[in-house]
Amino acid sequence: DNRSAEISSLGSLTSTVSQFDNREKGRLLASGALQLTSDHLNNQNGSVAGQQGVQLNLGQLTNTGNGSVYGKNSLNLAVSGALNNDQGTLRSDGTLAVRAASLSNNSGSVTSAGTATLSTTGAVVNRGGQILSDAGLTLSSA
């Protein structure tokens, strides 16, 4: 439980937990690479950031209500279930790769300065949202 708290590292940060609650302005930060493996990351109004890249291997991601996931060099999300980014931000100044069962991005933002690849086996819902890349975007959905 990291609600309204901070876990940070001046180097790399790696964590494997069953559930990670980072709501209510929780912060998970690394100056190096950040890797998290979890059944569910709840990042509602929280922040996850890695300066050398972020790798999230999740069963489910809730990144709503101004939640932010940022990877400076790269952002790689592997979500076996639902990825909810409603009113959230997924951003990389480098490459972005998202694989999920489904993506809800209503009024959300998925952006990359480098190439971006989004792949889902289910629906992509993007009402009022943005999915943008400065260097090429590949989107595939069942």
Whether the predicted model's global pTM rises above the 0.85 cut: yes
Six-digit token string for 134: 């400065």
For the residues 119-132, what does the mean pLDDT come to?
97
Share of the chain above pLDDT 90, in %: 98
Domain assignment present for 92: yes
Domain assignment present for 111: yes
Q: Which pLDDT belongs to residue 118?
A: 97
For the residues 100-119, what does the mean pLDDT come to?
98
Q: How many domains does the chain have?
A: 1
Asked if the model's pLDDT at residue 67 lies above 90, the reply is yes
- What domain range is 93 assigned to? 6-141
C-alpha dist (Å) from residue 63 to 70, 101, 142: 12, 15, 22
CB 113 within 8 A of CB 91: no
Q: Which pLDDT belongs to residue 125?
A: 97
- Segments of the chain assigned E as strands: 6-9, 13-21, 27-30, 34-42, 47-50, 54-62, 68-71, 74-84, 89-92, 95-104, 109-112, 116-120, 124-125, 130-133, 137-141
Asked if the model's pLDDT at residue 135 lies above 90, the reply is yes
Q: Which pLDDT belongs to residue 44?
A: 98
Contacts of 85 (CB under 8 A, 6+ apart): 61, 63, 64, 67, 103, 104, 105, 108, 109, 110, 129
Asked if the model's pLDDT at residue 103 lies above 90, the reply is yes
Q: Which pLDDT belongs to residue 63?
A: 98
Asked if the model's pLDDT at residue 142 lies above 90, the reply is no
Query: Would you give the distance in Å from CA 76 to the centre of its chain?
Result: 8
Domain assignment present for 94: yes
Domain assignment present for 1: no
For the residues 93-121, what does the mean pLDDT come to?
98
Beta partners for residue 62, in sequence order = 42, 84
What is the DSSP pairing of strand 95-104 with strand 74-84? parallel
Domain assignment present for 124: yes
Domain assignment present for 117: yes
For the residues 46-66, what does the mean pLDDT come to?
97
What is the C-alpha separation between 84 and 92, in angstroms, rounded? Answer: 18
Q: Which pLDDT belongs to residue 27?
A: 97
